[in-house]
Amino acid sequence: MSRTVLDDTTLKKAMRHLARVDADFARVLKEVGPPERREMPAGFGGLMRSIVGQQVSVHAARSIWLRLEAAVPSMAPSDFLAQSDEQLRAVGLSAAKVRYGRSLASDVVEGRIDFAGLDDLDDAAAIAMLTQAKGIGPWTAEIYLMFAHGRPDIMPGLDLGLVVAAQHLKRLRKRPDAKRLLKIAEAWRPWRSAAALLLWHYRRSMPDWGAKPLKTETRPT
């Protein structure tokens, strides 16, 4: 199945579209410029890296990942499964992340998750396939599809950084919940992934805004 992929060329097209359909985005593009496209590895390694990065700092996640790569250079699911729990814990994985990694690796080896077949699925079906694995929630699946497969029309409604940026962008008194953010984002189809990139870019350039102090944000790894 041939589908549009968010690459450097289509990202420029998406920015033109967003500026045309949303005056606030047109203003932001003038203020901060266009965002850079982000990429992550496809397959088991990409999703495993997302699991490693959950609920730890970027620095800690990178250190753990480098040790895991040294222990499992191929980053093949079967080689990951061949490691003992003690070996996986030794690289810095928590007990929960060892379980999540084993669940994901087993799902891939036994065919429940088929990375080669993901591109034949629509976004909802692809997310449903990925979230079968323990530790892979909707946000992780959405980020993976955006950055590893270049899906152009995904809006991770649970991402706090996007919520804060959208509140500021639209000058809302309260932070939108996921449902409202997705409703706002309907106007940005078919380039919601590009809109998310622009919102993250905008978030990094703006001061904290709003009555409540910001909690630690969830960021893509």
- Residues in contact with 114: Cβ distance below 8 Å, sequence separation at least 6, in sequence order: 108, 129
Does residue 185 or residue 214 have the better pLDDT? 185
11 has a pLDDT exceeding 60: yes
Confidence category of residue 207, pLDDT binned at 50, 70, 90: low
Q: Where are the domains of the chain?
A: 8-38+154-205, 44-148
Task: Write the CB contacts of 56 (distance below 8 Å, at least 6 apart in sequence).
Answer: 64
Residues with Cβ within 8 Å of residue 210, at least 6 apart in sequence: 164, 167, 168, 175
pLDDT on residue 96: 95
Q: How many C-beta atoms lie closer than 10 Å to residue 181's C-beta?
A: 22
Q: Which CATH class is domain 8-38+154-205?
A: mainly alpha
Confidence at 58, pLDDT banded by 50, 70, 90: confident
d(CA 204, CA 181): 19
Per-residue pLDDT band at 56 (split at 50, 70, 90): confident
Measured over the CA atoms of residue 63, residue 96, residue 163 and residue 189, the dihedral's sign is positive
Q: Which residue type does 128 have?
A: A
For the stretch 84-107, pLDDT in tens is 999 999 999 999 999 999 999 999
Question: What is the arithmetic mean of pLDDT over 123-150?
Answer: 94
- Report the top-level CATH class of 44-148: mainly alpha
In tens, the pLDDT along 26-51 reads 999 999 999 999 999 999 999 999 89
**Helices 192-205 and 160-169: crossing angle, nearest 10°?**
80
pLDDT above 90: percentage of residues in the chain? 85
Task: Report pTM.
Answer: 0.87
> CA dihedral defined by 193, 21, 17, 145, rounded to 10 degrees?
10
Q: Enumerate residues 6+ apart whose C-beta is below 8 A from 167.
A: 174, 175, 176, 209, 210
- Looking at residue 208, what is its pLDDT? 58
Amino acid letter, 88: L
Query: Measured between alpha carbons, how far is 5 from 110 in angstroms, rounded to an integer?
Result: 28
CA 17, 22, 23: angle at the middle one, nearest 5? 120
